[in-house]
Amino acid sequence: MDTMAAIKQTFFQECEEQLAEMEDGLMMIEREEGDLETINAVFRAVHSIKGGAGAFGLDDLVRFAHTFETTLDGMRSGKLEITPQIVKLMLRSADILADLVRISRDGGEMDETRVSQMADELSRASGAAPAPAPAPQAALEPVVAFGDGQVDEFGFAPTPVAFDFGGDTAANEPETDEFGFAPVKIDFDNMLADDGAAGNLKGFEIAFAPRAELYAKANDPLRLLRELGRLGDMKVACDASQVPLLGEIDPEGAYLTWKISLETEADERSVREIFEFVEFDCDLSVRPVREGMDEATAEDTVKAVLAQVTAQAAVEVVAAPAIAPVVFAELAAAPSPAPVEAVAPVAPAKAPASANTQAAPQQAGQQPGATIRVDLDRVDRLIDLVGELVINQSMLAQRVTEAGIARLSDVAVGLDDLEHLTREIQDSVMAIRAQPVRPIFQRMARVVREVADMTGKSVRLVTEGENCEVDKTVIERLADPLTHMIRNAIDHGLEKPEDRVAAGKPEQGVVRMIAAHRSGRVVIEVSDDGAGINRAKVREIAVKKGIIDADAQLTDAEIDDLIFAPGFSTAATISDVSGRGVGMDVVRRSIQALGGRITISSRPGHGTTFSLSLPLTLAVLDGMVVTVAGQTLVVPLSAIVETLQPKAADVHGLGEKARVIAIRGSFIPLVDVGSVLSYREDEADPLQSVAVMVETENQTQCALMVDGIIGQQQVVIKSLETNYGHVFGVAAATILGDGRVAVILDVDAIVAGSRQDAARAEANRKRSAA
Amino acid sequence: MTQVREQDVTANNELIAFRLGEQEFCVDIMSVRDIRGWTPTTPLPHSSAYVKGVINLRGAVLPVVDLAARLGFEPAEPSARHVIIITQVGNQTIGLLVDAVSDILTVNSGSIQATPNVASELARAFMKGVIAMEGRMISLIALDNVLTQNQSGQGLLN
């Protein structure tokens, strides 16, 4: 990938973050929890996107972002009153901005009319004529912003980028311009240097002050200056005022500085290139000089802005006493990274980043970011390798035991340590893949808005536990099921506004989405405060569609469960939103495919709650290792309720072949795993077996007969599909301590295969035998 | 499923020859990843008789096909002397259970003859041709057919 593409990719990644922040902020404002800082955060996010987009020539994006920003600015300055309507408009604009970003990244067509309509609406809202913002100006704009009194933005609420001014003056972060917390030092250079953004480049003003290290490394300023001279006409002035008296001079010190004015066609990069090898050993500033701006005015501008910043800062101090005035004095006097420590507490938006800055305030030229971006493939490769390490380690342990080495020998002790280490490595590696569910929750906020618009219902989304972390794959694959559930909740769950009022509820419906960790799994609940499931109607439909018999005796829970039945759809009229044939059965299947389960509970008049229980990772699983017909199998622990030894008195025959076991008064079907999986012809004797009580997704219980239980173990999940294919009754494979493969049972399939769906199992068996 | 690599017709092909009972067969060396001694497999439920089960190869789970059974011969009774040839077929890695690896051959593609008409329908479906060498007849196995005979694209089952 070439550099430009890489930078662009980074830009889009950052866009995603900015979009998330923007959405977060808008949601806070919507909930009326936002303050001025929230609006500022939103403004900054949009502004950053605009700035970056300008650098990449993404004109559509820039134009829309500009309009959006103008309206936000109105909100910020208090010119525009923050009403629910405005916030709604902002949220919808945010969606469009997100779409534009995605289209810029992935290609595709944007609905121009939608964008321009929204832009018009925004402009109307902000009371301005639709203002076209030509792309090229975008990059320059921050400079303008300084002039027209928007400096306040820089006075408080710095984002981490602002801490960047420690060293790397060449930082080409697209948004650097905006966070000129210390415009005094570098950002100006960058701003003005933005490729031909304003005026024609005439040359550069360069200040070059070597430090002692430069000389110590045998660099010669003369050679650098000579190199520089090759780029164009150069005037050099040496400042020898710092040279002390002979008696005080340090022979290895650095006292001379140079001011160079260079007239050249070359760009800033070529100028900086000359200093590439000494950039950390000198103080260098390269300031472009543009036509129509002679040196004196350029300097004056800087001074003027500086003065303004300082003045503004003083005002800000009054407004936000948390900031010690001395910080700004220091800032103006010596723009070193030191003040960051003092300012950090007023940057709550990015607390971790600032914390990091505090820890290492002066790592010149390094990003203070606490995160790095890593290719997902690399992480996955690492996870695979660690999985193998775990297997290898347990194989080794087994071999050592087989070799008869004493438990307390050095070898065994060392192995124990190794085991701890590998476990720890495995946990840490898994943690890398874990991501907060926040982005997906944010996406749902958009779904809520759209569906609410479409159905004409007023809906508020309440989310909790956005910071819950789950494996990235799980999160990705949750988007569709959650979207569907949210749609259902609004479309089917919530009543029409007038019905709500009639029922004595507030007109606005509430959809809640809550994520929480519960005993090694993550539970996500989607609930609405609607009418609850209309059981009579559900039953009627199920009978009509032939899902149940007309005289079937069903409990409330069983009726609720019917909505997961394939082909079930309750919407009387097929609406745009839901009821397109893909029903809750698809949702249940995709959740099951993730190793999760979905349950429903409903209270008439009070609403319906779906709860998803998902594994934290798809890479490992806690299993019970059992033996069946000489084979070692793994039963997922999450499905197991209890294990027991059947007694003769409890086992009863039922019909021709079926048998049930009486447990605490209820009869549970006995299923012989060996015969369902065609490991043996004849059913095992229940009295010689161990019954593993399992609960399936649809809450039915079943007792699986196995020959014996070896123990519980965490196993690494290996795909069978990669090199083979799907096998009925098998969820995946794993590798046990002895290096052999064991299959992981698909409990639901086995129960289904043994019961209602025996025919399917039979067909499957025939097919595979063919 | 992608096709197994076809060698240029005029080029010399390197082949790995192996025995199944009294007969000799060979596969393109380019598709061979590893040759291992027999290790006990884990049988899979509902699998065809010729699928001996799955084994662990450096952390990957891959199926082992009893090639003799697949060709319609007497199924192998695996012993320590049997050999598993690990082959790459398309995106899948598959082990072939054979009696013994006998040779590495370099043959000109011109010397690969069409399969004689007498062989059984099943066996012929898996053979690309035969090679005459030093009085022996060696059949060239078409690996992609071994896998896709039942259903295309879905691996051994389904």
Q: Which domain CATH number covers A459?
A: 3.30.565.10
Strand partners, B15: B28, B105
* Closest approach of B83 to chain A, Cα-based (Å): 17
Neighbours of A262 (CB within 10 A): 21
- CA-angle at A284, arms to A283 and A285, nearest 5°: 130
Interface ipTM above 0.85: no
Find the Cα–Cα–Cα–Cα dihedral B16, B18, B24, B28, rounded to 10°: -30
Instruction: Test A733 with B94 for CB contact under 8 angstroms.
Output: no
Alpha carbons B96 and B73: distance in angstroms, whole number: 14
Quick one: angle between helices A3-30 and A438-455, nearest 10? 60
Task: Mark out the alpha helices in A564-644 (DSSP H runs).
Answer: 584-593
Q: Which chain A residue has the Cα nearest residue B47? A: A768
- What is the identity of the amino acid at A708? G
Decide which of A359, A389, A423 is a domain's last residue: A359
Give B102 to chain A, closest Cα distance, Å: 26
What DSSP designation does A639 have?
A: G
Do residue A724 and residue B61 have CB atoms under 8 angstroms apart? yes
Instruction: Name residue A238's beta-bridge partners.
Output: A258
Q: What is the DSSP letter of A265?
A: S
Instruction: Please indicate if any CB of chain B lies within 8 Å of the CB of A391.
Output: yes
Does A441 lie in the same domain as A301? no
Q: Tell me which residues of chain A have a pLDDT lower than 50.
A: 129-198, 295-296, 298, 313-367, 571-581, 756-762, 770
Q: Which residues contact A558 (CB under 8 A, 6 or more apart)?
A: none
Q: What distances in angstroms separate CA A675 from CA A329, A633, A678, A758, A763, one per listed residue?
A: 82, 14, 5, 12, 15
Judge if A626 and A728 occupy the same domain.
yes
Cβ separation of A724 and B60 shorter than 8 Å? no
E strand residue ranges, B21-75:
23-28, 32-37, 51-57, 60-66
Instruction: Determine contact, residues A487/A582, Cβ cutoff 8 Å.
Output: no
10 Å CB burial of residue A570 (0-12, 13-18, 19+) is: buried
A651-653: strand order across its sheet = A640-644, A690-695, A701-706, A666-672, A659-663, A651-653
**Does B46 reach chain A within 8 Å, measured CB to CB?**
yes
Note the pLDDT of residue A329. Answer: 39
Is the distance from CB of B56 to CB of A741 less than 8 angstroms? yes
b/e per residue A362-399 (b: at least 16 CB within 10 A): eeeeebbbeeeeeeeeeebeebbebbbbbbbbbbebee
CB distance from A300 to chain B under 8 Å? Answer: no
Shortest alpha-carbon distance between residue B55 and chain A (Å): 6
Q: Are A216 and A345 contained in the same domain?
A: yes
pLDDT tens digit sequence for A98-133: 888 888 888 777 777 888 888 888 888 776 544 444
SS3 of residue A702 by DSSP: strand
Residues A606 and A507 in one domain: yes
Helices (H) and strands (E) in chain B, counts: 3, 11
Residues A442 and A416 both lie in one domain: no
Q: How far apart are CA A499 and CA A456, in angstroms?
A: 13
B97 close to A (CB below 8 A): no
pLDDT at A435: 84
Confirm whether A140 is domain-assigned. Answer: no
Q: Specify if A141 maps to a domain.
A: no
Contact yes or no for A742 and B42 at CB 8 A: yes
Nearest to B63 among A723, A739, A764 (CB): A723
Please indicate, yes or no, whether residues A570 and A657 belong to a single structural domain of this protein: no
Q: How many CA atoms lie within 13 A of B92 on its CB side?
A: 28
Residues of B in contact with A681 (CB under 8 A): none
Residue of A nearest to B147 (CA): A724
Q: Which residue has the higher pLDDT, B60 or A297?
A: B60
Chain B residues with CB-CB distance to A769 below 8 A = 46, 48
Element (H, E) at A181: none
pLDDT at A222: 83
Between residues B125 and A485, the one the model is more confident about: A485
CA A631 to CA B44: how far, in whole Å?
A: 10
3-state secondary structure of A268: helix
Residue of B nearest to A761 (CA): B46
Q: Which residues contact A313 (CB under 8 A, 6 or more apart)?
A: A155, A328, A331, A332
Listed in sequence order, the residues at least 6 apart from A472 whose beta carbon sits closer than 8 Å to its beta carbon are A376, A433, A434, A435
The two tokens of residue A602 are 């409903």
Residue at which a domain ends, from A388, A417, A434: A434
Nearest to B56 among A728, A739, A768 (CB): A739
pLDDT score of B11? 64
The Cα–Cα gap between A623 and A640 comes to 9
pTM of the full structure = 0.51
Q: Tell me, yes or no, whether A197 and A338 share the same domain.
A: yes
Looking at the complex, report in whole angstroms how far the Cα of residue B92 sits from the nearest Cα belonging to chain A: 5
Contact A325, A317 (CB under 8 A): yes
The tokens of A491 are what?
């479309």
- Asked if A677 has any chain B CB less than 8 Å from its own CB, the reply is yes
Q: What pLDDT score was predicted for residue A319?
A: 41
Q: Which of B44, B65, B122, B152 to mutate to test the interface with A (most CBs of A within 10 A)?
A: B44
- Overall number of domains in chain A: 5
pLDDT the model gives residue A96: 85
The residue segments making up the domain with residue A30 are 3-133
**pLDDT for res A44:** 83
What pLDDT does B96 receive? 93
Left, alpha or beta for A465 (phi > 0: left; psi -120 to 50: alpha)? left
Same domain? For A302 and A179 the reply is: yes
Q: Do A679 and B155 touch (CB under 8 A)?
A: no
- What are the residues facing A661 on neighbouring strands? A651, A668
**pLDDT recorded at residue A291:** 65
CATH tag, B12-148: 2.40.50.180
Are residues A628 and A601 part of one domain?
no
